[in-house]
Amino acid sequence: MNTTTRTTGRTTQEWQAADAAHFLHPFTDFQSLAKKGARIITRAENIYLWDSDGRRILDAMSGLWCVNVGYGQRALIDAATRQLEQLPFYNAFFQTATPPAIELAELLAEVTPPQFQRVFFSGSGSEGNDTVVRMVRRYWDILGQPQRQVIISRHNAYHGSTMAGASLGGMAGMHAQGGLPIPGIVHIGQPYWHEHHDAPPGPGQLEAFGIEAARWLEDKIAELGAENVAAFIGEPVQGAGGVIIPPASYWPEIQRICDRHGILLVSDEVICGFGRTGSWFGCETFGFRPDLMTFAKGVTSGYVPLGGVMVGDRVAKVLVEQGGEFAHGYTYSGHPVACAVGVANIRLIQQLDLVRHVHDDVGPYLAERYAELSTHPLVGQAETCGLMGALLLVNAKSRDGRGRAFDTALEVGMICRGHCFREGVIMRAVGDRMIIAPPLVITRAQIDEMAALVTRCLDLTLADARREGWLR
């Protein structure tokens, strides 16, 4: 097809050629994409996208976990326009501030857990987690314990792609490029049952595993010496790692361990925040009380870039009253346009009652539809948390319902993702886990539409596996 887009007059092929010549995409094999040609997305509305060939796509990933209020929200567009006309930019250096930054800081203090009254703004979640590294080490330095440098994270976690963010993350492929992790960051295992056990959990086993996985933190603290450990950081649900939902017992035990040893607890809410899990923040869903909390994505629903760190009373008191100058920050900390959109976005979430909508209505309904998908011959596990979901693709599902893993070299998840793109739904493949995080404005009827598309793509993937003789 040689469709011409309305806005510029370029054909899809012309866009693809220009893209291949000049645009280096994130997390991409540049040469492979240049040969294939990028899919050109030209417009969006509600939970749908359209490409340059006019095909409609249901966006089951909210862009990149971020478009919580859906596309085309006039309140956010108007907020950006007004602020661009009045004050498009000023910085927060030189002891200055802008009204949108102050207003958003106030609003964030209102919607976050009660221990958070202060915020440090960044431009992204990656920058926010860089700030966490600087801030926790500065905190202990002020308290006269400069040896407390080590931050503990988890394997398969994702905390950004900057040097510090990628180091905090536990993804081997990222660490293999660039000499990562940087010193002072170590990792423990993730609370993912199927990584450690072949059979599905029996009665009570999952909760016992949650305690066991949390105590890997205590083991690591004992190995390092508590006097050397600054903080533990984790996502309430590991998003980019494959929507790894921990047992209910996990986070309360993590909290107990951090409290016992006096180390700071950091919740990375970049994906889980602003209603995604059915609470305003994931730490509320899982029942723990962090000292620091990074956010981004959902704070503006991705309309403009913005991130930051909510700083709890324990840390803020030391930084403010004893710390002097904190030699850290960004040109775009508290960008007035981004903050104006953040204010409009949070107020829209409140106005539409989206957190309750997820908790009481579409979140439980998604769980119901995913339970139905668990009967598919390729699905060994289907689980959800709020409006996050994962399907584990398996080979020759056994009587226990789980089945055996496919050979990783087959990249069955990527095959399924390819069918999704062709059939008009965006899912993400993390290995053989197919994951979703649709906009919070999704309706039950749209969940039905999404489930039908996902079923179609599972059927097509199953047909591929049978044709190639992969099933055993």
16 within domain boundaries: no
Mean pLDDT of 175-198: 93
- Are 205 and 141 members of one domain? yes
The count of other CB atoms within 10 Å of the CB of residue 239 is 26
Mode of pairing for the β-strands spanning 264-268 and 307-312: unpaired
285 within domain boundaries: yes
- Are 145 and 181 members of one domain? yes
Residue 114 has pLDDT above 90, yes or no: yes
Q: What is the CATH number of the domain that holds 68?
A: 3.90.1150.10
Mean pLDDT of 222-243: 98
403 within domain boundaries: yes
Residue 2 has pLDDT above 60, yes or no: no
Residues of the chain above pLDDT 70, percent: 97
18 within domain boundaries: no
Residue 341 CA to residue 339 CA, distance in Å, equals: 5
Q: Per residue in 301-357, pLDDT tens?
A: 999 999 999 999 999 999 999 999 999 999 999 999 999 999 999 999 999 999 999
Are the beta carbons of 192 and 276 closer than 8 angstroms? no
- Are 234 and 183 members of one domain? yes
Residue 446 CA to residue 52 CA, distance in Å, equals: 23
- pLDDT confidence band for 29 (50 / 70 / 90): confident
Q: Per residue in 295-304, pLDDT tens?
A: 999 999 999 9
Q: Per residue in 148-167, pLDDT tens?
A: 999 999 999 999 999 999 99
Helix (H) or strand (E) holding 23: none
Sign of CA dihedral 323, 325, 329, 334: positive
Residue 416 CA to residue 427 CA, distance in Å, equals: 9
- pLDDT confidence band for 77 (50 / 70 / 90): very high
For residue 440, what are the CA distances in angstroms to 64, 68, 278, 282, 348? 13, 5, 10, 15, 12
Q: What is the CATH number of the domain that holds 120?
A: 3.40.640.10
pLDDT number for residue 140:
98
Number of domains the chain contains: 2
pLDDT number for residue 401:
58
Mean pLDDT of 369-375: 95
Residue 11 has pLDDT above 50, yes or no: yes
- Are 451 and 308 members of one domain? no
- Least Cα distance to 231 among 323, 325, 168, 142 occurs for 168
Pick from 352, 373, 408: which residue ends a domain? Answer: 352
Mean pLDDT of 118-131: 98
Are the beta carbons of 75 and 347 closer than 8 angstroms? yes
pLDDT number for residue 398:
64
Are the beta carbons of 84 and 340 closer than 8 angstroms? no
pLDDT number for residue 176:
94
- Are 274 and 326 members of one domain? yes
Are the beta carbons of 330 and 125 closer than 8 angstroms? no
Q: Per residue in 210-219, pLDDT tens?
A: 999 999 999 9
Mean pLDDT of 370-375: 95
> By residue range, what is the domain housing residue 83?
74-352
Please give the mean pLDDT across all residues of the chain: 95
- pLDDT confidence band for 396 (50 / 70 / 90): confident
Residue 241 CA to residue 388 CA, distance in Å, equals: 12
- Are 409 and 449 members of one domain? yes
66 within domain boundaries: yes
Q: Is residue 399 classed as helix, strand or coil in its secondary structure?
A: coil
- Are 176 and 205 members of one domain? yes
8 within domain boundaries: no
Residue 8 C-beta-side C-alpha neighbours within 13 Å: 10
Mean pLDDT of 440-457: 98
pLDDT number for residue 402:
63
Pick from 352, 367, 382: which residue ends a domain? Answer: 352
Structural tokens at position 291: 């000292």
Pick from 310, 334, 352: which residue ends a domain? Answer: 352
- Are 223 and 290 members of one domain? yes
30 within domain boundaries: no
Residue 116 CA to residue 347 CA, distance in Å, equals: 19
pLDDT number for residue 9:
81
Write down the pTM of the prediction.
0.94
pLDDT number for residue 400:
61
Task: Count Cβ atoms within 10 A of the Cβ of residue 269 and give its class: 0-12 exposed, 13-18 middle, 19 or more buried.
Answer: buried
- pLDDT confidence band for 26 (50 / 70 / 90): confident
Residue 19 has pLDDT above 60, yes or no: yes
**Dihedrals phi, psi of 387, to nearest 5 degrees:** -110, 50
